[in-house]
Amino acid sequence: GGTEHGFDSMNNWLTALVGGLGLKTGVSEQMKHIIMEVVPPGATLHIAGHSQGGHDGYLLGEEFASTGVYTVASLYAFGSYFP
């Protein structure tokens, strides 16, 4: 995630606003699909992110932990906000 320029078209002020409302962003959904494609169910995750990426990581960690798909051992969010 992040709010730096040039990441991709989904990384903008609207993404930050949607995330600030506690809703999943397009970026967090992309991250979820990538993780689920390469990390086997039941694995232990350590999630880290900065700014919007930390917020997206928080939302993903919460979802993964509550569904039991993955064990979330740690979450490091730098310069991030939480819903």
**In the predicted model, is pLDDT for residue 82 greater than 50?**
yes
Q: Given the structure tokens 């993780």, which residue do they identify?
A: 35
Please write the tens of the pLDDT for every residue from 17-52. Answer: 666 666 666 777 888 999 999 999 999 999 998 888
Model's pTM, two decimal places? 0.69
**In the predicted model, is pLDDT for residue 8 greater than 60?**
no
SS3 75: strand
8: number of Cβ within 10 Å: 11
What tokens appear for 39 in the block? 């990390």
pLDDT given at position 18 = 66
**In the predicted model, is pLDDT for residue 56 greater than 80?**
yes
